[in-house]
Amino acid sequence: MINRKKLMLPIGIMLIGASALVARLFYVQVWYHEEISKRVSKLIYRERNEAPCRGTITDANGNVLAMSSRCYSVFVDPNMVEDSSALNAELKKVKLALPQNLDSYKGKTSYMLLAENLDTQSARKVKALNLRGIGLTQGFVRSYPEGRLASHVLGIVGKNTKGLEGVEYAADEYLSGTAISSKRYRDGRGKEISEKLINPENLRGGDVKLTIDKNLQFIAEQEIDKAYKQSGSKKAIIIIQDPSNGEILAMASRPSFSPDEYGGYEKIRNPAISDIFEPGSTFKAVTLAAALQENLVKRNEMIWCENGKYSVYDHVIKDHEKRGLLSVDEIMEYSSNIGVAKIAQRIGKERLYSYIKLFGFNSITGIDLPGEARGLLKETSKWSGLSLPIIAFGQEIGVTPLQIINAYSAIFNGGELLEPRIIKEVKNPDGEIIYKSERRVVRRVVSRDVADQLKEILVSVVEKGTGQMARVANYTCGGKTGTAQKRDKATNKYSTSAYVASFCGAIPAKDPKMTILVILDEPQGDYWASSRAAPVFSKVASRALGCLQVLPDVKPVFFADARYNRLKGE
């Protein structure tokens, strides 16, 4: 017969134990649940933003200039590493190693980067080892298929996949897309498992098409590279613009940089839009535009050019050649500072100032690139007596290369100042065009008649004057040379050894397809624009015309054994 009293003790003990267990479970699952969940989450759960694949940047014809490709990062979770030496031995097979102080991070972090930007093949080798605590994450790396081509235009992308300069920065909102938050878990070996099936390649930014023509950019890069090296210049710049619509077809600068390697701000800033320089004689076209528009000079009018020396406010303005009476056309052909200074005195400082502003100087052009400078132009109240005549021929004023070429494009397109453009259109990931740039007239700067007169004068500069080395066989060409003294920062006086040589012109002059600017900053030895910058223009223009298949507007005429060019219709 069972003794009930003897059974009561073990039953009581069992009931007390069960009650304690229930109480403990209740405490853990109810009262302590939140704290336990936090601890577990730290070990097996992580929330991470899935970075989209950055969109591509192409030239006007769809050639890829910048793109993103899949890459991988390798990480280690210190909390899951039991034997560092054994794990290191395995990692050496794929040329990786653990941090020396790995153990000190246990309990502090679950993610320590070992390597990044691995290609798919390298990532597969790491994955094949199947190591506890070692994981892979997917991402994208930016690459530039054409290398340094248009590097200052394209800019760079930082490690956070955000644009830092150039189009990469200007169009970052379109290119980067929108990151999506993803919850990830880790299994017992530390491998990540996504809560949602997200394919990072399906998360894309938009694609940006530029106005840049890769072939013209290549020509500009080649020719500026040669000129930069041969002249020993500190910097060199070439810009090609379509004067009819304001589109930038090429923009090249030296020294250049590789866009996938960050080399500091000074290397990546775009001098074509951010550098300020005194333009010298290329600026004479603006002064003459004002005089012609205001009917203050006639082209056949003769002006006394003082045989090369002209005293103004205790300062002597000099010409590089001694000339007496010159017509307005000849003043430009021979690039007479004295002749232009006398024309400016007729214009007056207030009117000249207004035309300088009208042509877009001392203001940003509005191009789709960051870091554009305004230039330098003092208010007329701060002009000295000498300011009017010397500003007229490009001293005591600071301009950007982009401002100069944009002003010349206005002359050659019939008198309209256009907003320069470098982004043509943007498409979203579905291929829908969400932005398209269009020709935008900022304002009319001179009448069409005055623009046509200026065009004829600039053609005569190339045919008869200082720009003869800019000529291209079988094409009309108009433009102006500029040899500008640089200011010595130490003395605040004009240097006798440092110059900026430039040439800006358009071709074919009768129906311009391109405006081209060439700038050489401090060429060594021969510093004259006529022999340094003008020949570079000729080489770029000749190759570019062939690339665009532009028909000649001058036909060769033969007489016996003699051969010469004659304009059509003459």
Q: What is the pLDDT of residues 139-192, one digit of tens each?
A: 888 999 999 999 999 999 987 788 999 999 999 999 987 765 555 555 554 455
First to last CA, the chain: 140
pLDDT band at 490, cuts 50/70/90? confident
In 3D space, the residue among 553, 321, 513 whose CA is nearest the CA of residue 409 turns out to be 513
> What domains can be seen in the chain, in order of their start residue?
47-210 (3.90.1310.10), 214-567 (3.40.710.10)
CA distance 4 to 317: 129
CA distance 382 to 401: 25
Q: Is the pLDDT of residue 82 over 90?
A: no
Q: Is the pLDDT of residue 36 over 90?
A: no
Q: What are the distances in angstroms from CA 54 to CA 200, 286, 366?
A: 11, 43, 25
Check if the beta carbon of residue 489 is closer than 8 Å to that of residue 479.
Answer: no
- 74 Cβ contact partners less than 8 Å away, ≥ 6 residues apart: 96, 113, 114, 115, 116, 118, 123, 126, 134, 135, 136
Q: Is the pLDDT of residue 120 over 50?
A: yes
CA distance 346 to 324: 19
Q: Is the pLDDT of residue 316 over 80?
A: yes
pLDDT band at 563, cuts 50/70/90? very low
pLDDT of residue 564: 42
Q: Is the pLDDT of residue 550 over 90?
A: yes
DSSP-derived secondary structure for 133-197: TEEEEEEEEEE-TTTTTTHHHH--B-TTS-B-SHHHHHTHHHHH---EEEEEEE-TTS-EEESS-
Beta-sheet strands, E only, within 277-422: 302-304, 309-312, 315-318, 325-327, 416-418
| Amino acid letter for position 323 | R
Q: Using a cut of 0.75, tell me whether the model's pTM lies above it.
A: yes
Q: What are the distances in angstroms from CA 150 to CA 93, 145, 216, 270, 369?
A: 40, 11, 11, 10, 13
Q: Report cis status (omega within 30 of 0) of the bond before 255.
A: yes
- Each residue's pLDDT tens digit, 500-543: 999 999 999 999 999 999 999 999 999 999 999 999 999 999 99
3-state secondary structure of 55: coil
* 21: phi then psi, degrees, rounded to nearest 5: -65, -45
In 3D space, the residue among 525, 512, 502 whose CA is nearest the CA of residue 238 turns out to be 502
CA distance 393 to 280: 6
pLDDT band at 566, cuts 50/70/90? very low
Please, what's the largest Cα pairwise distance for the chain? 146
pLDDT band at 387, cuts 50/70/90? very high
- Each residue's pLDDT tens digit, 405-421: 999 999 999 999 999 99
Q: Is the pLDDT of residue 33 over 60?
A: no
Residues 457-471, mean pLDDT to the nearest whole number: 97
